[in-house]
Structure 1
Amino acid sequence: MTVVSFAEAAKVKVDRVEPLNWWVGMKNPALQLMIHGENIADLNPTINYAGVSLDRVIKVENPNYLFVDLTIGKEAQAGTFNIEFKKGGKVQLKYPYELKKREANSANRQGFDASDVIYLITPDRFANGDPSNDTVEGYADGLNREDKMGRHGGDIQGMIDHLDYVEDMGFTAIWPQPLVENDQEHMSYHGYSITDFYHIDPRFGSNELYREFSDKAAEKGIKIVMDMVFNHCGSGHWWMGDFPTNDWINYQAEGFKPTNHKRTSIQDPHGAQVDLQGMTDGWFVETMPDLNQRNPLLAEYLIQNSIWWVEYANLGGIRMDTYPYPDADFMADWTCRVMAEYPNFNIVGEEWSISPAIVAFWQRDKVNINGYSSCLPSLMDFPIQDAVVKSLNKEESFHWSDYWNDMYEMLAHDFLYAHPEDLTIFPDNHDMSRFYSQVNENFDHFKLGITYFLTTRGIPQIYYGTELLMKGVEDHGIIRSDFPGGWEGDAINAFEGKGLSADQAEATAFMKTLLNWRKNSEAVAKGKIKHFAPEDGVYVYFRYTEEAQVMVVLNKNAEAKTLSSARFAEILKADATGKELFSGKNMNFSGDFEVPAKGYLVVDIQ
């Protein structure tokens, strides 16, 4: 950024203006600039640019900040104008600010949906494409690949270098954990302790490289989902030593006070206010100060930040971390502001609860008894994830409690959701034990579970390395292990399929088959679901539209099972035929049919 300084303004300067730039032609013409600089409040900003009006200047407790409200009118053209800072009628400083032209059809961008499968990546652990940024001068947390909680060197270039692998596997969206700056002394690799909301961490790359990543992914039909954090920032954030206001973070005067994690206090009709406050205002840990979104200046800052990244990086979605922890009214306003600007966009919120009633509370169009509503399209479906693991690990099956009953009954709770088809489903993620470990390293159960996640209702998300049967229980450093082949000299290169065990190779091929078939399945991408109560260890469900139909059969028994087609007559025609995905065999449903032991059928009905 360029700042022109005059001699009489020696004690006044502009350090930063955020958002870094804006765009003409946005649906919402309002823009609020946060201007930071020593004693900047001693000056009065003015703007003289056609179509842009300066509506209000807000001065706060800290003289190092100004908040400036602008209106970007419809007649405003892309270009750069000076914000002139005056004192006594004389210009003391000039700061150039740019308005860019929006890309064609930006407002109508298509967010990720049920036709997509999202590949979740921990960038530091995926691939090191640029060793020159492994350690960056001025950043305390440098490369230490021997430390499971240290930085290992994975970066944006590493993800760019392996977009072919992601495409070939059949994934159509990538969700990297946060890439913005985390200038923390230790354990900064995970990205959730943000110290600058507008800049990519230099150990991952740059803003320009992130945009290149998005552009190159788009060329392959892959959307980028940005992981955002509004509940907290990192203790090393640049504003922590120079707060704009006295209530920028919660417990600002007192300091660290931990959250009680009582997430149900938000919905609890009998709950005490003190417990609700303890949940939303408390900090996760001492290095994650809790942001006060009730402050309207901070609220606007965060909303504009998310819109800025959507425009700048051409995003296909947002994943919001710790969704119920920020102020609930703010989160509703944020979702509605983003979705008003991008009606076809998608946002998925993390509400880590295995109760579908708690998860359903946050979704758009949900009618809640307390009147709360938001515009959030999707949530992480932790209830289904939990039910799948319980079903796969169940050791006994009897007439009223089948192996699959947890899954069957949890799916039946879809009546609680306004839009169950929009939920994001997943076998595991970066915060929980690896799915292969959760099913006790039972390869048959692993395949049954993956078949379900890639064929049931919702938007699937797969964590990097799940296709390789990566293991790990509870320990984040192990769960987020390096992807083999992402570093020069790795003995195993999974990107090229070299050095894999027989089971790993089979798991990769199995998932690749399902993922690439799924790309062309109208029934799975757009269809409804009808399931039949599990019987004798076998669970059957259909995905269907008026034009297409898929039958999925899951058999957990140690022996093959014969099923009667007649049981499914309400959806399966008596003369129906089909082709099974994995075997390639043609099937006839005029009578009985067989499902293999510990096996599965995915049948395109013709």
Structure 2
Amino acid sequence: MKQTLLTVMAVLSLLFPFSSKSYAVIKKVAPTFWWAGMKNPELQVLLYGDDISSSEVSISSKDIYLKEIVRQSNSNYLIIYLDLNEAKAQNFDIILKKGRKITKVPYELKERIRKGSDIEGFTASDVLYLIMPDRFSNGNPENDVVPGMLENKVDRNEQYARHGGDFKGISEHLDYISDLGVTAVWLNPTQENDMKEGSYHGYAITDYYQIDRRFGSNEEFLKLVNEAHDKGLKVVMDMIFNHCGSENYLFKDRPQDDWFNFRSNYVQTSFKTASVMDIHASDYEKAIATDGWFTQVMPDLNQRNRHVARYLIQSSIWWIEYAGINGIRQDTHPYADYDFMSTWCKEVLEEYPHFNIVGETWLNSNVLVSYWQKDSKLAAPKNSNLPTVMDFPLTDLMTKAFDEETTEWSGGLYRLYDYHTQDFVYANPMSLLTFLDNHDTSRFCKNEEDSKNITRYKQAITYLLTTRGIPQIYYGTEILMAADKSEGDGYLRRDFPGGWEGDEVNCFTREGRTELQNEAFDYTRKLLNFRKGNEAICKGTMKHFAIRNGIYVYERKYNDSSVVVFMNGTDENQTLNLAPYK
């Protein structure tokens, strides 16, 4: 009997040579894989498993150099830094050893299928179409509820619950988006948000390397990006480096307390990020604005910790290389550490020189917003390296300009003229993201009355699509969807009519839209397709004239191509003397 048992054990050890010696269960490896031939040859690999920090570490590869082993105060983490300078694509093992016990962690270094210079970012030639995936269309009801995830219900009658939109729903309506005439799709966060409530919006990430399974898988995201590219649509991915979700394993079982600001203790941000560039601000005001937490369930990441910084930078590069996305919109950009964000932008753009990043710079003046744009003279000698900033001050002006009578010196379109006279504060006015509304603001049509005012809408969308900058349209704006922020953020993010089986109205079709909605849709579509490839608008300079008789006139010009826009800011018909515009 003893001889037989020994023989069986010997056979098992041949079949499964590491099973009897393996001592550790590795729960997370981040990043999950990497690529050979990246410009930055250093790779951080974070390992998370039970009591692994005291392990001896080695690797099985001959052309990969183990530069550094970092142990954290939490024994469940090991961070290693590898030098891939001479490494070719390969599979190798990260070997953890405790005494005679060995755990082998397989790792893959893939062959690059993309060249960094091949990835085209979004520019002023593009128009972005912003989609909140949970609220656009439900193509696969089977992934509405995923067993084991904390928020396990769908309720379309509740504004803050999940409604079930997903990647398949977006994929099924790419023809609608492409036909409209936009050239890029910006998706609100798609990474895992395994939070107990409010997870529909996506801004509390619980795994930076995993797509939220209620939208689909990593592979389905890659498929969606490829399908969009096949239809001539670029894809912009929302990312959040300032904070994560409190259910993120990095916070629940954090490597060290200094991975999060205020040593992982909740301290509320003041939201007053103007303190960052305020020459009179106290150190306290600056610290509370940038290091304070967005909410108690969104712990504030400490990007001054070099391991946190490298983890975040690599996560963004991973998604660019994996999926071939064309841009990143960075949430709450001024709330994070300035120097880290500058380094991040620099590294991404060195790897992908034609890529673009837009930062959410929600500040109340053009001077404050301009501080955050790459090469801003107001920030010198510091440089954010952020190519595109969001023109929130212009959005605020547009919510008023088309409702007021314009005079020679105030009101209505004068607001827009006056604002553009100050564009010299921007390092690159053409690289400003301009928008009538988005997922955080009241819709341009706040109510039913606004939705009926088609002239107001036509003026606004004409201005948005012909002025300087990179326009963005929020899903549903083209069919006059209405919502006021005072009703709640969930109502700003209502479901697109027709995106769910059984919807009484289907606004994806002409037959499902009202006569007024079709007028708005047709006008938007005509203007978008006129704009597409129009060099005067997409590349040209802007020249404008002072308000005369309530009329605002501006020209977009590129070489011999010119587009001139005349806008009447009064309720009266006007006869123009064209001599001043000759």
Same fold (TM over 0.5): yes
Counterpart position of 2:131:
121
Q: How far apart are the structure 1 equivalents of 2:580 and 2:307?
A: 60
Distance 1:124 1:296 in 2: 34
Q: Distance in 2 between matches of 1:199 and 1:320?
A: 18
SS state of the match for residue 563, structure 2?
A: strand
Question: 1:499 matched to which residue of 2?
Answer: 512
Equivalences, count: 562
Find the counterpart in structure 2 of residue 422 from structure 1. 431
Greater Cα shift, 100-109 or 134-143: 100-109
Q: Does 1:132 align with 2:145?
A: no
| Partner Cα distance (1:129, 1:276) in 2 | 45
**Are the equivalent residues in 2 in contact too, given 1:150–1:186 (CA < 8 A)?**
yes
Structure 2 residue matching 1:324: 3-state secondary structure: helix
2:47 corresponds to which of 29, 35, 46: 35
Deviations 1:492-542 (A, max 9, x none): 111112232211110001100011111121111111111111211211111
Segment of structure 1 superposing worse, 532-541 or 200-209: 532-541
The question of whether the paired residues in 1 share the 8 Å contact of 2:406 and 2:570 is answered with: no
Q: How does 1:189-268 map to 2 (within 5 A)?
A: 189-253=200-264, 255-268=265-278
Which residue is equivalent to 2:522? 509
User: 2:371 touches 2:379 (CA, 8 Å); kept in 1?
Assistant: no
1:580 alignment counterpart:
none
Q: 1:431 aligns with which of 422, 437, 440?
A: 440
Between the aligned partners of 1:522 and 1:391, the Cα distance in structure 2 is 27
Which protein is richer in helix relative to its size?
Answer: 2
1:19 matched to 2:31: yes
Cα separation, 2, equivalents of 1:510 and 1:241: 50
Q: Shift of the alpha carbon at 1:50?
A: 4.2
2:66 to 21, 38, 54: 54
**Contact residue 134 and residue 162 of structure 2 kept, 8 A:** yes
Counterpart residue identity of residue 479, structure 2: L
Residue deviations 1:132-171 (CA, integer Å, cap 9, x gap): 0011111232211121111000001111111111110011
Which of 67, 70, 78 matches 1:66? 78
Between the aligned partners of 1:360 and 1:533, the Cα distance in structure 2 is 24
- Give the secondary structure class of the aligned counterpart of 1:41: coil
Inter-CA distance 23–547: structure 2 relative to 1 (3 Å threshold): farther
Q: Quote the offset at 1:5 in angstroms.
A: 5.0
Q: 1:165 aligns with which of 176, 183, 192?
A: 176
Equivalence for 2:352: 342
Residues 450-490 of structure 1 show CA distances to partners (whole Å, capped at 9, x for unaligned) of: 10000111111000000010000002111111001100111
Query: Is the CA contact (8 Å cut-off) linking 2:479 and 2:521 kept in structure 1?
Result: yes
Superposed, 1:221-370 pairs within 5 Å as 221-253=232-264, 255-368=265-378
Looking at structure 2, the residues matched to 381 and 368 of structure 1 have their Cα atoms a distance apart, in angstroms, of 17
Q: In structure 2, do the counterparts of structure 1 residues 68 and 428 end up closer, same or farther at CA, with 3 Å as the change threshold? A: same
Residue of structure 2 aligned with 1:145, choices 156, 159, 162: 156
Query: C-alpha separation between the residues in 1 aligned to 2:18 and 2:490?
Result: 48
2:350 corresponds to which letter in structure 1? A
Distance 2:213 2:17 in 1: 27
Q: 1:531 aligns with which of 544, 556, 564?
A: 544
Structure 1 Cα separation of the partners of residues 578 and 512 of structure 2: 43
Contact 1:299 1:330 in 2 (8 A): yes
- Paired residue for 2:4? none
Corresponding residue SS for 1:40: coil
- The alpha-carbon distance between structure 1 residues 246 and 127, as it changes in their structure 2 partners (threshold 3 A), is same
Distance 1:369 1:284, change over 3 A: closer
Matched, 1:399 2:432: no
- Residue 356 of structure 1: CA displacement? 0.7
Q: Distance in 1 between matches of 2:141 and 2:17?
A: 36
Shift of 1:368: 3.0
Cα offset for 1:556? Answer: 2.6
CA change 1:449–1:104 in 2 (3 A) is same
* CA deviation after TM superposition for structure 1 residue 262, in Å: 1.3
Cα shift at 1:246: 2.0
CA distance in 2, matches of 1:518, 1:470: 23
Asked whether the equivalents of residues 6 and 92 of structure 1 are also in contact (C-alpha less than 8 Å), the reply is no
Q: Does 1:460 align with 2:474?
A: no
| Residue of structure 2 in register with 1:552 after alignment | 565
Amino acid across the alignment from 1:58? V
AA of the residue aligned to 2:547: P
Unaligned ranges ≥5, structure 1: 570-606
How far apart, in 1, do the equivalents of 2:114 and 2:222 lie?
Answer: 16
Q: Does structure 2 retain, via aligned residues, the 8 Å contact 1:4–1:94?
A: no
In 2, distance between residues paired with 1:419 and 1:91? 59
2:274 counterpart letter in structure 1 = T
Structure 1 Cα separation of the partners of residues 237 and 495 of structure 2? 21
Alpha-carbon deviations, 1:74-112, whole Å to 9, x = none? x42222111122234x56011111111222433331100
Q: Tell me the distance in 1 between the aligned counterparts of 2:17 and 2:106.
A: 9
**3-state DSSP of counterpart to 2:275:** helix
Deviation at 1:56, TM superposition (A): 0.9
What amino acid does structure 2 have at the position aligned with 1:21? F
Does the residue aligned with 2:335 lie in a helix, a strand or coil? coil
Task: Tell whether the 8 Å contact from 2:244 to 2:300 is kept in structure 1 after alignment.
Answer: yes
Residue-by-residue CA offset, 1:48-69 (whole Å, 9 max, x unaligned)? 3243211111111111111111
Instruction: Between 256-265 and 44-53, report the one with greater CA deviation.
Output: 44-53
In 1, distance between residues paired with 2:329 and 2:69?
33
The CA distance in 1 between the partners of 2:473 and 2:503, in whole Å, is 23
CA distance in 2, matches of 1:463, 1:4: 56
What TM-score do the two structures reach when normalised by structure 1?
Answer: 0.90
2:578 aligns with one of 560, 565, 577 = 565
Q: Is 2:544–2:555's contact at 8 Å kept on the other side of the alignment?
A: yes
Task: Measure the CA separation in 2 of the matches of 1:306 and 1:383.
Answer: 28
Contact 2:274 2:363 in 1 (8 A): no
1:587 aligns to what? Answer: none
Return the alpha-carbon distance in structure 1 between the equivalents of residues 287 and 196 of structure 2: 30
CA distance 1:342–1:402, change in 2 (3 Å): same
Q: CA RMSD in A?
A: 1.6
Cα distance in 2 for partners of 1:238, 1:375 equals 31
